[in-house]
Amino acid sequence: MAKYKHYDYSQSVLIPVCLDEQLTPGTLEFAIHTLVEEQIDTSIFENRYHNDETGRLAYDPKILLKVVLFGYSRGLISSRKIERACRENVTFMALSCGQQPDHSTIAAFVSTMKEEILPLFRDVLLVCEEENLLGGTFFALDGCKLSSNASKECSGKISDFQKKKEKIENSIGQLLEEQVEEDNKDDKQGKDEGSRSISKRKKQIERLKKKAERIEGFLRDNSAKIGKQGREIQSNITDNESCKMKSSHGIIQGYNGQALVDNKHQVILHAEAFGEAQDHHLIPPMLDGAKENMVAIGQEGDYFEGAIFTADSNYHDPTNLNKCEEEKLDAYIPDNRFRNRDPRFQTEKEKRRRRVDRFTLKDFQHNEESDEYLCPNGKLLKLVAKKAIMDGVIYRRYVAHKDECKGCEMKVKCIRRKDAKRRIINVPVGAVPGNISKAMAEKVDSEKGRRIYPQRMAIVEPVFANIETHKGMNRFTLREKIKVNIQWLVE
């Protein structure tokens, strides 16, 4: 018969633990401990405490900051999980010096750091500069869309909320009528069954009343939310500063977290969360924020002048491009069609498609008197636009009648898209003078641009992979832009 070592879970064990020895040099916990103790100025938290003479002793902000930073680095975004780690995990015990702050203390500490978070971020940035971790010559900007602590079902325009409120009120009225009918029943069995249904109905009515009151309160305190185009966009009752946006995980209600990254050691120079899905207007606030951060740590105001700056095609907008030109950046921001012009991105299917002997402008005869084009099959294409502008080029546009192209035997050689109903000819007649978008497209298409732009992915994409995958930051747990920004900067 086999013999095993005896064990007894009821026995007591004394384990000697030296907290200082748990923070081994070279580890992340040691770096956080040293950084908070020696480099970061935590005196900025003094104003929030008023217990000099009376009141309970507070947790030292250094302790709270250490466990929050380390918790976020280990994917523990929940304050309850950080509280549990301070009771059960030896490393957290060492960082908190054996103290066990509860989850409400941790959550309140994080959500109220709106005045302190930026100075703390800049202190860390200063340490990075002192340790020669910043290159200062090549930067990349990108963003990721994360869900917020708000339901997308609570989104809509003001008129949608008013209709929803009316619908709820009608439902309440209908339930009240049914309740009156139940009350009028005389037989005992009916009363017994009715009492249960009445209790259930009362709960339904209470829930609906709360929903109606919530919508009414929102309508009273908020007006229509106007977007960049001057039109009303959807508001959200739970967090009106968040927005609906399309992400890789479908439509979400959340924020667009942006980060400007230095290429030398992938240090984030500035981070901010925006309640807008598009990146078309985000370079100005991101560059301004990064400049303020660098000036705060002792750099000159022209720190970014002449540096290489890259961003993906979502940022290709005149507002962003003008800002790059104003800051004298060597920017490379492609338009949406840059891959179509780059032979390196041609798939085999596209290459085969280009082998088809299709009609070009030379195959269409131009009648100068009537200003019309005649296709190879003898059909007319009439002028519909004298000045159509695309990508900085001015075109004259000629269009054939859809009925004439419908049964044409030459349609395969004439029309590329399968869903196209007729042939359109765009004849270039000039370029828009000083078109910044066209100039940027040509810059990205150049040999130098095709060499520099692909480096963007190696700089900024690993940063977001680390945040979302390794650290588990796949959603914001706070509401309102100020609090979400705190969480984004701490991460």
Q: Is residue 192 part of a domain?
A: yes
CA 196 – CA 182 distance, rounded (Å):
10
Say whether both 196 and 325 belong to one domain: no
Residues 274 and 307 reside in one and the same domain? yes
Nearest to 244 by CA among 153, 313, 162: 153
Q: Note the helical H segments in 147-259.
A: 158-183, 188-221
Q: Show Cβ contacts of residue 218 under 8 Å, excluding neighbours closer than 6 positions.
A: 161, 235, 237, 240
Tell me the C-alpha distance between 213 and 169, whole Å: 10
Give the SS3 label for residue 140.
strand
Q: H/E/C letters for each residue in 354-422?
A: HCCCCCCHHHCEEECCCCEEECCCCCEEEEEEEEEEECCEEEEEEEECHHHHHCCCCHHHHCCCCCCCC
Amino acid at residue number 370: S
In the predicted model, is pLDDT for residue 194 greater than 70? no
How far apart CA 229 and CA 131 sit, in angstroms, is 45
Residue percentage of the chain with pLDDT more than 90: 35
Tell me if 365 is assigned to some domain.
Answer: yes
What gap in Å lies between CA 232 and CA 301, rounded to an integer? 38
pLDDT of residue 438: 83
Residue 114: half-sphere exposure toward Cβ, Cα within 13 Å = 9
Domain endpoint, select from 173, 189, 223: 223
Average pLDDT in the chain: 86
What is the domain extent for residue 171? Answer: 158-223
Q: Answer yes or no: is 230 within a domain.
A: no
The answer to whether position 141 is within a domain reads: no
Check whether 145 has a pLDDT greater than 70: yes
- For the chain, count helices (H), then strands (E): 18, 15
- Fill in the DSSP letter of residue 470: I
Query: Which residue, chain included where needed, has tokens 């966009």?
Result: 233
Which has more pLDDT, 344 or 474?
474
Q: Do residues 328 and 406 share a domain?
A: no
Written as one string, the DSSP assignment of 266-315 is: --EEEEEEES-S--TT-HHHHHHHHHHHHHHTT--TTTTTT-EEEE-GGG
Q: Which residue has the tokens 């078309």?
A: 280
Strand pairing report for 330-332 and 308-311: parallel
| Full DSSP string of 26-37 | TSHHHHHHHIII
**Boundary (domain end) residue, out of 191, 223, 255:** 223
| Together in a domain, 307 and 376 | no
Structure tokens at 136: 């200062």
Structure tokens at 127: 């340490």
Nearest to 101 by CA among 52, 68, 74, 53: 68
Do 381 and 413 belong together in one domain?
yes
- Same domain for 107 and 19: yes
The reply to whether 426 and 368 lie within a common domain is yes
Cα four-point dihedral sign 413, 416, 422, 424:
negative
Residue 350 pLDDT level (bands cut at 50, 70, 90): low
Give helix 283-296 / helix 117-130 axis angle, nearest 10°. Answer: 70
Residues 6+ apart with CB under 8 A from 82: 67, 68, 71, 76, 92, 103, 106
Confidence of residue 351 (pLDDT cuts 50, 70, 90): low
Identify the band that residue 81 occupies on the pLDDT scale cut at 50, 70 and 90.
very high
329 and 470 housed in the same domain:
yes
Please tell me whether residue 260 adopts helix, strand or coil conformation: strand
Distance between CA atoms of 141 and 311, rounded to whole angstroms? 5
Percent of the chain having pLDDT more than 70? 93
Place of tokens 């919508």: 215
Instruction: Note whether 163 and 308 are same-domain residues.
Output: no
Mean pLDDT confidence for 119-125: 90
Q: How far is residue 438's CA from residue 443's CA, in Å, rounded to a whole number?
A: 9
Does residue 143 form part of some domain?
Answer: no
Q: What is the CATH number of the domain that holds 483?
A: 3.30.420
- The DSSP result for 45-82, as a single string, is GGGG---SSSSPPPPPHHHHHHHHHHHHHTT--SHHHH
The pLDDT of residue 463 is: 92
Indicate whether 130 belongs to any domain: no
What per-residue confidence (pLDDT) applies to 462? Answer: 92
- The answer to whether residue 459 scores a pLDDT higher than 90 is yes
Same domain, 256 and 306: yes
Per-residue pLDDT of 412-434, as tens digits, reads: 888 877 778 888 888 887 766 66
441 within a domain of the structure (yes/no): no
- For residue 19, pLDDT over 90 is answered with no
Does 237 fall in a domain?
no
Distance CA 202, CA 196 (A): 10
Domain tally, the chain: 4
Q: At 468, phi and psi to the nearest 5?
A: -80, -40
253 strand-pairing partners: 244
What the block records as the tokens of 348 is: 């085999």
For residues 169 and 301, membership in a common domain is answered with no
Note whether 163 and 91 are same-domain residues.
Answer: no
Instruction: Evaluate if residue 190 carries a pLDDT over 60.
Output: no
CB-facing half-sphere around the CA of 41: CA atoms within 13 A: 9
DSSP H helical ranges for 297-342: 318-326, 338-341
Dump pLDDT digits (tens) for 6-16: 888 998 888 88
The mean pLDDT value for 114-127 works out to 89
| CB-based burial label for 228 (10 Å; 0-12, 13-18, 19+) | exposed
Residue 407: other Cβ atoms inside 10 A: 7
